[in-house]
Each structure stands twice: as structure tokens, then as C-alpha cells.
Amino acid sequence: MSNPASISGNVHQKPKLLLFDFDGTLADTRTIAHGILNDMSLEFGFRELPLDQLEEARRMSTRDFIRHLGISRWRVPSIARRGLQLLHERIHLIEPISGMPETLTFLQERGVRMAILTSNSQANVEAFLSRHNLLYFEFVRSSSKLFGKGREIKRILRKEKLSPGEILYIGDETRDIEAAKVTGLPMAAVTWGYNSVEALHALNPEHLIHSPSDLLNLHLQLTRP
């Protein structure tokens, strides 16, 4: 188990809740999402993403990626809704990130509180969790807007009666880091998802973790007496 990199945060914070992103963090949706994206490029008339440009795309922020594809901001909601519909049809093909089931089981057995905040639909996430017997999460909260996670985090803080420092947010995209910063949550950015190490590091998250087992190490560091 390697040591996760702490960039700027206070490693002595003790989270009471681990809040996970879904796509790219828990579920390996990247390959299927790429196919769906290119299918929708024909339907909505935006630029296709060739396979050899995937790594370049991972280095872009979410906003830069949308501009790169030539998608107008006003069309983002309808494209996102269509993408979720197509993903639902293929949810049975999606596997967990390698090593994540073991990590989640370890955390659940030790009584760690866990929840999910996602831009995916609640139905898609719950179908995935049920299929893979990963029913470890207290709740699944879905943001109806691509950049609406900050608002949902504030609702979670109020409902759960937690302070920002009591939640560790775990996600794989630049927009996850942006939402965490807006709401004051410590952020553990995972490097196996939609955005590259370079793109994540540029936004200075509190922690960078490179494998699911690193998450266990980080949790032990943060909860050590």
C-alpha cells in the first residue's frame, strides 16, 4: 500500500463521512461513456472524440472539454440527460474500479460512514450497486446539473448536520475539486478516472491518491488518534 500524496490539506482532520463521486471513481464507466459520447455526437452535431485523443482530453478541465467538443452551454443539460438514458441501457456492462470492492468492504466492516454524490442518475447508481453487491452507502444524492455538486454538498451538510471538515470528498474530475473548494470540503482526488494527474494537481486538492488501497491508507492517517 503506497502513501497518498498530501498537497495542501490538514492531514489531521478526522472525517465522519466519506462522500464518493460515482463515474470514474467507483465505477469504470470511461470506455462505455466514450462510446456513448461519440454516438451522441451524431445525434447532437458536436465533435467526435477519436480514441487517440482520449489522453489529451483527460488533461482538460470539464469546461475546456465541453468547449473542445463544440458543445454550447445551453445544450449541455439535454446532452447529459440523453447520455444518462443511454448509460442506463448499458449499466449491466459496467464494472467497479479494480480494487474498489475490497476497499469499500474493508471500510464498511470498520463502520465507516459512506455516501455517493453524482451527476449520474440515482437509478443508474443503485442498479450498479445492487448488481455488484456494494450496498454500503447511506444515501445516493444525484445532482441534476453537471456543475451543481456544490449546491448538493451544501444540502448534505445541512441534512447530516456536519461541518465541511467532517466530510472527505473523493472524486476524479476537476469539477469535483471545484465543488469541494466552493463548499470547504477536504478533497481526495483519484488519478484513475476521467481527469489526468496533471489536471487534478493543477487545482491543488488536499490529497492525490493513485489506487483504491491508497484510500485505506489515507483514511487511517486521517483517523489516527
C-alpha cell at 161: 448536520
C-alpha cell at 22: 460515482
Catalytic residues: 21
Q: Is the dihedral of CA 148, 114, 127, 208 positive or negative?
A: positive
Residue 20's nearest CA partner among 125, 92, 131, 154 is 125
Beta strand segments in 112-175, E:
114-118, 140-142, 167-171
Whole-angstrom Cα distance, residue 183 to residue 164? 7
Query: Which amino acid does the sequence have at 202?
Result: A
Whole-angstrom Cα distance, residue 98 to residue 211? 9
Whole-angstrom Cα distance, residue 209 to residue 201? 11
C-alpha cell at 219: 483514511
CB of 59 closer than 8 Å to CB of 65: no
C-alpha cell at 209: 491518491
CB of 35 closer than 8 Å to CB of 185: no
